[in-house]
Amino acid sequence: MSSSPASPPVPDTDPDATPGSVIRSVFRWRGEGGRHLDDHIAEEVPVAFVYNSEPFAVMMATPADLEDFATGFALSEGIVAARGDLVIERIEQLIEGIEISMTIPDHRAEALAQRRRSMSGRSGCGVCGSELLEAALRYPPPVRTDVRITVPALRRALRELRAGQTINARTGATHAAGWAALDGGLQLVREDVGRHNALDKLIGAMHAAGCDPATGFLVVTSRASYEMAMKAASAGVSLMAAVSAPTALAISLADHANLTLVGFARDDGHAVYTHGQRLLGEADLTAGGHPA
């Protein structure tokens, strides 16, 4: 007969802990018994975006790669049109969470005031709290870049994305977004408890690294929602592959935005929903097609 678990001990600080995770004590059962152990847990904290001293939105996010997050969010949400329009003044750790203070041009601030949100977003919920329907749904202009990739390149990118998820390997609780070269080699990866946040962080990192959207494609570990497709198209990316399913609205947006949308991307197969000419299979290569 097993006894009730005793009060858990206070864990020591783990010098190997990575940004985005903390150590917490847990009583874990295996079979007929259990024991106390220290476990890596993904962090989730409120992150407030403040533009020109005016609060705009609060997102629940993993506190890692915050400069990339601020940049990618501002670009993918259309708050600024170019990276040069955004100045990150400071990132402050407050008792309540993290505040990122930024400066944008006055005309951008005036436009932002028209669509200011009044609610806090859940983890990566980019349209949560939008006051107007037209603010919630945005259709970016058609993607002008074009790529051709092979199925083996897609599968390589998926394998490397799994291997590159350092926070998820410890916690099992984060999504990831990756930028891969045309041969499938992973160039950048960002993680977050929110799938939209992970993609925003990646878009910010791509801008910081000077990545050309015409030289690669996106792979994400989540479902392909409307907003994931919108952010990809807004970044000028022409192909996004998700390990899970797309939504109907995401398919509609991808079709109009000239975005190749791939879902259920796994080692043994995938489904192409829009603009499938960019993903080359064995038959395409035999017929004379070739990757860009």
Q: Kindly state the tokens that stand for 168.
A: 């998820």
The one catalytic residue among 80, 102, 125, 253: 125
Q: Where are any strands of DSSP class E within the chain? A: 21-30, 33-42, 45-51, 54-61, 87-93, 98-103, 121-123, 149-150, 175-181, 186-192, 216-220, 239-242, 260-266, 269-274, 279-280
Alpha-carbon distances of 214 from 142, 181, 182, 223, rounded to whole Å: 14, 9, 9, 23
Q: Is 128 a catalytic residue?
A: no
Q: Are 19 and 27 in contact (CB under 8 A)?
A: no
Q: Could you give the residue numbers annotated as active site? A: 125
